[in-house]
Structure 1
């Protein structure tokens, strides 16, 4: 039972960290896309607004991570040398896959800050950090 609890807590921690990072990065990419100077106060206000209003993105991240981390757990058993990087890679891959699937479904990426290559990669990096957080929490 302890393993299931650690897995669940790790999944939640990784998803929340990825959501916070991904949403904050998204906000900055959106504001920078217009080429208009934006004050630090407005940047903070928009970032906090996005964090409080993009909760569907958190659900998408959590489901994506659940699938990716279960797959990584299986792969890790067959490739023990990948144990240290399996979850960060899975987190990054989960984000890339989720954004790709959103594009396939909606014919655009609803996370507008991820429409550029840099924005897409930033979301994947957030996923990699979330995967690292998952590994730290789940392995305790």
Structure 2
């Protein structure tokens, strides 16, 4: 029951926000690079690019983030059982680490950036999206844990 009432909803919301931020940061990085070489990118083009990137990256980068988060949050849970303090920091670092490992591993193994927006400052923006997802997972799961404990005790 814990999986259905606390972990899956927390995981889904954290993943969705993290992926959406990562996709947005990717799109903004690409637009910035186009503008830097003198290409005019209108507001409508930017909005269309952001939407198209979100849809296009969902089944690839989105799935990769989901798997990386599942592994990272499982490890964070194991660490949290031993430490039992700083839960938010542990999950924040787990989310950040998951994205960092995905991006660094793809560059090291395949010699390609998994997404164009993970170069330069875009790399740090991707890490921020991972950290936000990890923090959100910790906070939502904590709120749902309190809610579930209250419902059980009533």
Q: Is this a same-fold pair by TM over 0.5?
A: yes
Provide the C-alpha distance between the structure 2 equivalents of 1:89 and 1:110, rounded to a whole number of angstroms: 21
Tell me, in whole angstroms, the C-alpha distance in 1 between the residues paired with 2:134 and 2:17: 9
**Farther off after superposition, 75-84 or 54-63:** 75-84
Match of 1:119 in 2: 122
> In the comparison of the two structures, how many residue pairs are matched?
138
Structure 2 stretches lacking a partner, 5+ long: 145-154
**Which residue number corresponds to residue 32 of structure 1?**
32
Asked if residue 103 in structure 1 is aligned to residue 103 in structure 2, the reply is no
Q: Max radius of gyration: which structure?
A: 2
- For the 8 Å contact 2:25–2:125, the answer to whether it is kept is yes
* Structure 1 segments (4+ residues) deviating >4 Å: none
Point out where structure 1 has 5 or more consecutive residues left out of the alignment: none
Match of 1:4 in 2: 3
Q: How many angstroms does 1:129 deviate by?
A: 0.8
What do the CA deviations read for 1:97-130 (whole angstroms, capped 9, x no partner)? 11111112320112111021x1111001001111
* Root mean square deviation of aligned Cα: 1.2
- Give me the whole-angstrom Cα distance separating, in 2, the residues matched to 1:29 and 1:84: 28
